[in-house]
A and B are shown apart, each in its own frame.
Chain A
């Protein structure tokens, strides 16, 4: 009955109570959303590459290698020679190896040269393989497969011709060797979506007339001639490596890092991702702290609401006292009320989050490549709700203690 009366009392003050609950709901929704985005970002971050045991590149920093080889951010300081690549590829503990050649671009998107093995071994989101949404994986020398974002942004479809530019943000184009789009990949939420993929040989082919990063004046080798040429690359940018047995990963890493003929670097993608996340993590923690402060602000708002209601509710408390309620019952009543408000606010916040998530999910996915799964509330989210209710109870103790004092002094007689 006390609970029913507390609820009835809240209903009687529907407007202010509603506003308070709304403020709590919005703050909780914000907090949970930040948390969702944070874990979602972390997961899709970790999901960009899976199934690869080592990334090999020229010696630099592990984060830098990860950034340019997987995220297509920044540039390689040096290449890996084809001989070194062959040496690693022929080692018995290497199960598979995929070369990557970067450096050219198409519009704002990077061009990556690789082999067909890339489509077999590059895995994302716990072992998912790349799939074509349209067309096929390149068959001809001048075929290209483009990522979903490339196709969507530039409005390309299978069969369209594209011209690759030399370098990044460059005006010199490889316009004598146009490519044809043979396939468009399905959306992955990884940097592959923003990549134009060609074969290793094609990278060589478009650079036949180039020396030291510049076009040889007047020299235009016809495409027919290029097709007859030996197009073995002289160098690659990086390589993805899979080992025969996970136990050999560290031994192989060590061997590559100590490779005498050329300074190389091999990193474990997971470790490098952790390292990179550690750098990004500071901002993420700050964001979480700010949204936690918003929740605290909403709870303090609730405290203010309860405070301002105390005077007009003196009569109500006097009635309770006259009926035999102890001052502690009055205190308990106010704390119960606050907990009800906090709980309603938190649950409404959760509902808002899921409603918002189901509406915004496809938009977030296409805009940021961030897949936020709509799953049942996690244990952590339930803890957040419990914490909000608990914090509500603690915060409400301040006005509740005041009400306790007031009801002790007033007794059942209210002097107004």
Chain B
């Protein structure tokens, strides 16, 4: 498999699902923490592992990509649109339409049923809802594919095991086929066996959806499974000004 290293010139921008250009972000307030990403891109359908220790600016980078934070300078291109040119509301809608998010843990609304949790992003993304077709049937298919028992759809999320919750989170990220899946340390709450099973399923379903996968982790042992491994320090520089 061809391995690309971070290099803006290697990519045709129109082919990229994600492209950050000369992005600068500085936290407001006393912390004096700033992140700059000169150039980082991902091809459509590519799977990328972003390695970084805590405090390396991973969370900030993900927030910039998801559009919950705006950079002070630069552009964030996702699926052909520049997030920095969109209004706040349009960015939220864009995230709902284009990005599936999986957290480390506590992915689900504990009081909601599994089906409610899976269908939640569709509520904010009409286009994605259309793509999902019969949303409930699609959710059931996804659950089956992810090895979840069928009757689980009606269960409340907080009755599920952590491993099951993470799989439901995958189903929620994949429903309606968003082109970009962002996973923030999704396996850190799982034991080693469950990790392997979980990643198998995640890759299998991401590939089936022809989606790109950007996964953030501090664990380099996962590297083999990805098209490409990127170290946080290689793409971003973090500055801390002592307050």
Contacts and interface: CB of A to CB of B under 8 A. Distances in A.
Interface of A: 1-2, 4-5, 8-9, 11-12, 315-316, 319-327, 329, 411-413, 415
Given A1-B123, A324-B93, 4 more contacts: A5-B109, A5-B112, A8-B116, A413-B59
Contacts of A326: 88-89, 92, 124
Contact of A323 (B62, B69, B110, B124): B124
Contact of B66 (A4, A322, A415): A322
B111 A11 contact: yes
B116 A1 contact: yes
A324 B96 contact: yes
B95 interface: yes
A5 B103 CA distance: 20
Contacts of B95: 322, 324
Interface string B30-45: 0000000000000000
A324 B63 contact: no
Interface in B86-145: 88-89, 92-93, 95-97, 101, 103, 106-113, 116, 119-121, 123-125
B68 interface: yes
A4 B172 CA distance: 18
B156 to A, nearest CB: 8
B238 to A, nearest CB: 16
A315 B106 contact: yes
Nearest to A8: B111
Nearest to A414: B106
A412 B110 contact: no
B104 to A, nearest CB: 10
Given A4-B116, A324-B96, A324-B121, A411 B68 contact: yes
Interface in B140-188: 156, 172
Nearest to A328: B89
A11 B116 CA distance: 15
19 contacts: A4-B116, A5-B116, A8-B113, A8-B116, A12-B110, A316-B110, A319-B103, A319-B107, A320-B109, A321-B92, A323-B120, A323-B121, A324-B125, A325-B96, A326-B89, A329-B124, A412-B62, A412-B66, A413-B63
B111 A411 contact: no
Contacts of B156: 8
Contacts of A9: 109, 111
A329 B123 CA distance: 11
Most chain A CB within a 10 A radius of its CB, from B68, B88, B93: B68
Q: Which 5 A-B pairs have the closest CB atoms?
A: A324-B96, A411-B68, A324-B124, A12-B111, A8-B111
Contacts of B109: 5, 8-9, 316, 319-320
Contacts of B125: 324
Interface string B46-80: 00000000000001001100101100000000000
B119 to A, nearest CB: 7
B110 A324 contact: no
A279 B19 CA distance: 79
A1 B119 contact: yes
A295 B66 CA distance: 43
Contacts of A323: 96, 101, 120-121, 123-124, 172
B106 A412 contact: no
A11 B110 CA distance: 11
A40 B89 CA distance: 53
A413 B125 CA distance: 21
A9 B110 CA distance: 8
Contacts of A11: 111
B72 to A, nearest CB: 16
A320 B120 CA distance: 8
Nearest to A9: B111
Of B88, B96, B116, B120, most A-chain CB atoms within 10 Å: B120
A156 B172 CA distance: 80
A170 B172 CA distance: 89
A413 B97 contact: no
Contacts of B112: 5, 8
Nearest to A326: B92
Contacts of A329: 124
Given A324-B95, A411-B69, A319 B108 contact: yes
Given A12-B111, A319-B109, A325-B124, A411 B63 contact: yes
A2 B112 CA distance: 10
B112 to A, nearest CB: 5
A176 B50 CA distance: 114
Contacts of B119: 1
B124 A412 contact: no
Given A319-B107, A322-B101, A324-B121, A412 B68 contact: yes
Nearest to B123: A1
Given A411-B63, A412-B63, A412-B66, A325 B111 contact: no
Given A315-B106, A322-B101, A324-B96, A2 B123 contact: yes
Nearest to B120: A323
A223 to B, nearest CB: 86
Contacts of A415: 59
A315 B93 CA distance: 20
Contact of B103 (A12, A322, A411): A322
Name the residue in A4, A5, A327 with the highest tally of chain B Cβ atoms < 10 Å from its Cβ: A5
Nearest to A2: B123
| Among B89, B92, B96, B121: residue with most chain A CB under 10 A | B92
B111 A321 contact: no
Contacts of B101: 322-323, 412
Interface string B204-240: 0000000000000000000000000000000000000
A315 B113 CA distance: 17
B40 to A, nearest CB: 19
Given A5-B111, A8-B111, A8-B112, A324 B89 contact: no
